[in-house]
Structure 1
Amino acid sequence: MKRVLWLLASLPLGLMAACSATNELVFEDNFDGNGLPDSTRWTYEEGYVRNGELQYYTVARPENCYQKDGYLHIVCRHDSAFIANGRFGKAWATPVDTTRCDSVAPVTSASITTKGIAEWKYGRVEVRAKLPDCRGSWPAIWMKPAENTYGEWPKSGELDIMENVGYDLPKVHYAIHTEKYNHTKNNQKRHTVDCATVATDFHLYGFEWRADKLTWYLDGVETYSVVKDEEGWEAWPFDQPFYLILNFAFGGGWGGSQGVDLEGLPQEYVIDYVKVYR
């Protein structure tokens, strides 16, 4: 039986500044329970959230997010009948932005976060996961600021620990976004590595955050790093607490840029465990 350990409550946010040691385990979930994920560790995003994606993120719906036998399953589904019956009580045709005024695809998924529950400044994140295999899939492990200290995105930063898009399955992507460096300017700091078995095997996605350096790992091997070489929040807003997000998007500006395969659904994004050290 895997342990579920919750240690964050004993540590005030921002207690530890950058240091050489990141070995104190402050958050762990091995998903040992059955049913919905632990509400003392995770909360949900809801709705059509970003990037013109097709999926509607549901809240506490086991068809889209559940734990069983020591694994968390985030499931993206083609739920045409469920949505047509108005089960969610939402205005499904209401566009999120002007690019989506004509129709809404009946796709559901989940995005869970530690927002408002657990947030960290500096440390190491480890997530062992197996990714979905479908054109349109866009699973991710990433972090956003607990407060927009420097302003709305991208001013306060974004840390992308792992992203993958189904039309280019073997590739694992890393990136940061800041006011000075972000994808809208086509100058974000990013890196891509090949991993042929992302959808057939579990892999360990690691990320270490220090005051002056960010480092990414795949299965314990360092694969990318970004060093702070400029002063000022515009280039380096990573001196504030961030929270963790695990989400399974479908379609959208990147995931759907080569089309989507609705017939390939349902698909699962499976997480073995999450650990955070400081």
Structure 2
Amino acid sequence: MRDNSPSLIPGLVICGLVILSAAVSCAQLAEKPKPATSQYTFAPTPSWQDEFDYSGKPDAAKWSYDLGDHGWGNNELENYTSNIENAKVENGNLVITAIKEPSGKQQYNSARLVSKGKGDFTYGKFEIRAKLPKGRGTWPAIWMLASGNEYGNKGWPDNGEIDIMEHVGFDQDRLHGNIHTKAFNHAIKSNKGNNIVVKGLSEDFHVYTCEWTPEAITILVDGNAYFTFKKEASYQWAEWPFDKPFHLILNIAVGGNWGGQKGVDDSIFPQKMKVDYVRVYPLVTK
């Protein structure tokens, strides 16, 4: 048999060099640094808060009132007042009370507290511990609106809305978290949001949280995230107006396009939303 081994050596050497070269190239690719991505966290202590450890009217340095009986764009049935019967601090809680009683042009009165001009925030972690009212016709909310009107038609929904907590009394155990923008809102059936079943919303305190960064808005209850809205690369202000200051709103509406879908049970009133604390933790960029 003829011995061919010497003639194989150059081929083996070349093949080995090709394999070695490929291995080196793969190793170099593997070691190439990945593009840096932004990482966000929140400060461990609040930069703005109300612990409601006093008595009387809500702290005027932190809260103002939205007032009126005009339906608030939702055909609501309450008149929002600044009366202490509708909003007071006692026993360590802010208590917002909706009452069945003629007020202004309406047959109910309630309160809608706002931090605008006293607590305006761009990004952050917003944490509110609260116990909700109960009964058909109630529509409590913990939410945020833009403090300025810089986009589009200078109003809702162009400048955005963040709903940290919405609840309607005819669907007692269901909690809602939503965002609204010009491109995404319920009026054009493109709303972005989610809901979750939580027992004891009106019997126990729960912690409602929004984590807002330049890249995403996440809504949580008791530390459980159930809705995240991410900023896509293609988004402009119509999809993502969430780069300007927003303020907090706490209220109980009565009736309205959503809250009153199944009518109002007058026998349930008065109804209260109790708020143990409101805490805002600023964004920290790593």
| TM band (smaller chain) | 0.7 to 0.9
Say yes or no: does 1:272 pair with 2:273: no
Aligned to 2:148: 147
Gaps of 5+ in 2: 1-37
What TM-score results when the alignment is normalised by the length of structure 2? 0.81
2:275 maps to amino acid? I
Instruction: Label 1:183 to 1:236 Cα distance change in 2 as closer, same or farther (>3 A).
Output: same
**Bigger Rg, which one:** 2
- Any residues of structure 2 matched to 1:46-85 within 5 Å, and which? 46-48=67-69, 49-59=72-82, 61-80=83-102, 83=103
C-alpha distance in 2 between matches for 1:224 and 1:173: 9
How many residues of Structure 1 are paired with residues of Structure 2 in the alignment?
Answer: 239
Shift of 1:158: 0.6
Aligned to 1:39: 60
C-alpha distance in 2 between matches for 1:19 and 1:30: 30
2:228 maps to amino acid? S
Aligned to 1:123: 124
C-alpha distance in 2 between matches for 1:79 and 1:258: 20
Aligned to 2:32: none
- Any residues of structure 2 matched to 1:250-269 within 5 Å, and which? 250-269=254-273
Whether contact under 8 Å (1:130, 1:202) holds in the other structure is yes
C-alpha distance in 1 between matches for 2:226 and 2:195: 9
C-alpha distance in 1 between matches for 2:212 and 2:99: 34
Is the deviation greater in 227-236 or in 244-253? Answer: 227-236
1:273 maps to amino acid? Y
C-alpha distance in 2 between matches for 1:176 and 1:51: 17
C-alpha distance in 2 between matches for 1:40 and 1:19: 33
Cα distance per residue 1:219-250 (max 9 Å; x no partner): 11222211111321010000000000001101
C-alpha distance in 2 between matches for 1:233 and 1:65: 35
Q: Find the partner of 2:243 among 228, 239, 244.
A: 239
C-alpha distance in 2 between matches for 1:221 and 1:127: 14
Aligned to 1:87: none
Gaps of 5+ in 1: 1-17, 84-89, 93-103
Shift of 1:144: 0.4
Where has structure 1 moved over 6 Å in runs of 4 or more?
none
2:181 maps to amino acid? T
Say yes or no: does 1:248 pair with 2:252: yes
Aligned to 1:107: 108
C-alpha distance in 2 between matches for 1:212 and 1:115: 24
Partner SS, residue 138 of structure 1: strand
2:141 maps to amino acid? A
C-alpha distance in 2 between matches for 1:173 and 1:223: 9
Cα distance per residue 1:144-168 (max 9 Å; x no partner): 0010110211111111110000000
Aligned to 1:100: none
C-alpha distance in 2 between matches for 1:197 and 1:247: 19
- Any residues of structure 2 matched to 1:222-233 within 5 Å, and which? 222-229=225-232, 230-233=234-237
Q: Find the partner of 1:20 among 40, 59, 63.
A: 40
C-alpha distance in 2 between matches for 1:55 and 1:197: 25
Is the deviation greater in 223-232 or in 125-134? Answer: 223-232
Aligned sequence identity (%): 40
Instruction: Label 1:117 to 1:19 Cα distance change in 2 as closer, same or farther (>3 A).
Output: farther
Say yes or no: does 1:164 pair with 2:163: no
Shift of 1:19: 5.8
Whether contact under 8 Å (1:19, 1:210) holds in the other structure is no
2:255 maps to amino acid? G
Supply the RMSD in Å over aligned alpha carbons. Answer: 1.2
C-alpha distance in 2 between matches for 1:52 and 1:67: 28
Whether contact under 8 Å (1:155, 1:178) holds in the other structure is yes
